[in-house]
A and B are shown apart, each in its own frame.
Chain A
Amino acid sequence: GAVVSQHPSWVICKSGTSVKIECRSLDFQATTMFWYRQFPKQSLMLMATSNEGSKATYEQGVEKDKFLINHASLTLSTLTVTSAHPEDSSFYICSANEREQFFGPGTRLTVL
């Protein structure tokens, strides 16, 4: 149980385009999901907490207009990186709460 999927697993895009990443809880419902960013050889950095049916809560220093989060159902949260730039290239990982946080497999974003 407690399986979380992400799509896509990797994406390459041109600078200035927007990219949407989906996070799904496959075998449970999650009112709360989390989005993390991870740079190479570093730990996970929490970006925002996604709450079903309400606005996401962003961590300090994370631009809410840059990283749009939508949690429209109990099994799906999306992260849209708007007007992506090379510095947004990173590994994005979501997690969902089933007593504890269970993580998705991650999405590798490369912005050219």
Chain B
Amino acid sequence: GQQLNQSPQSMFIQEGEDVSMNCTSSSIFNTWLWYKQDPGEGPVLLIALYKAGELTSNGRLTAQFGITRKDSFLNISASIPSDVGIYFCAGRNYGGSQGNLIFGKGTKLSVKP
């Protein structure tokens, strides 16, 4: 079946540092989404990408839809303690229904003040 490889699994960084995480797929996607999940909460949509090459920002967050349509990255600039959480990428492939989101295994971010 389709798989999403999300890396790194976890990150420990100092407040103020920039963060980068990425997802790669074994097949082509037409949509890439990035969610953040706080402990005991549901995921919150951060950024949605719909076109190959698209670069979208949301505050200190920037995400890109890879040209090959098989990858995406998320960057967080100048990290702050509230950035702590688990970040999930999710993709949808051509022909998939709205429900056919495939999730990465998540990147756990820890920020040291």
* Residue in A4, A46, A100, A105 with the greatest tally of chain B CB atoms within 10 Å: A100
Are A103 and B105 in touch, CB under 8 angstroms? no
A44/B43 contact (C-beta < 8 A), A34-B99, A100-B48, A101-B98 known: yes
Q: Does B42 reach chain A (CB closer than 8 Å)?
A: yes
Are B40 and A103 in touch, CB under 8 angstroms? no
Set of chain A residues within 8 Å of B42, measured between Cβ atoms: 4, 6, 93, 95, 103-106
Set of chain A residues within 8 Å of B35, measured between Cβ atoms: 103
Interface of B is mostly: loop
* Chain B residues engaging chain A, CB cutoff 8 angstroms: 31, 33, 35, 40-45, 48, 88, 97-99, 101, 103-106
Given contacts A43-B103, A103-B44, 10 further A-B contacts (CB under 8 A): A4-B42, A32-B99, A42-B105, A44-B103, A93-B42, A99-B48, A100-B45, A101-B33, A103-B45, A105-B41
* Chain A residues engaging chain B, CB cutoff 8 angstroms: 4, 6, 32, 34, 42-44, 46, 49, 57, 91, 93, 95, 97, 99-106, 108
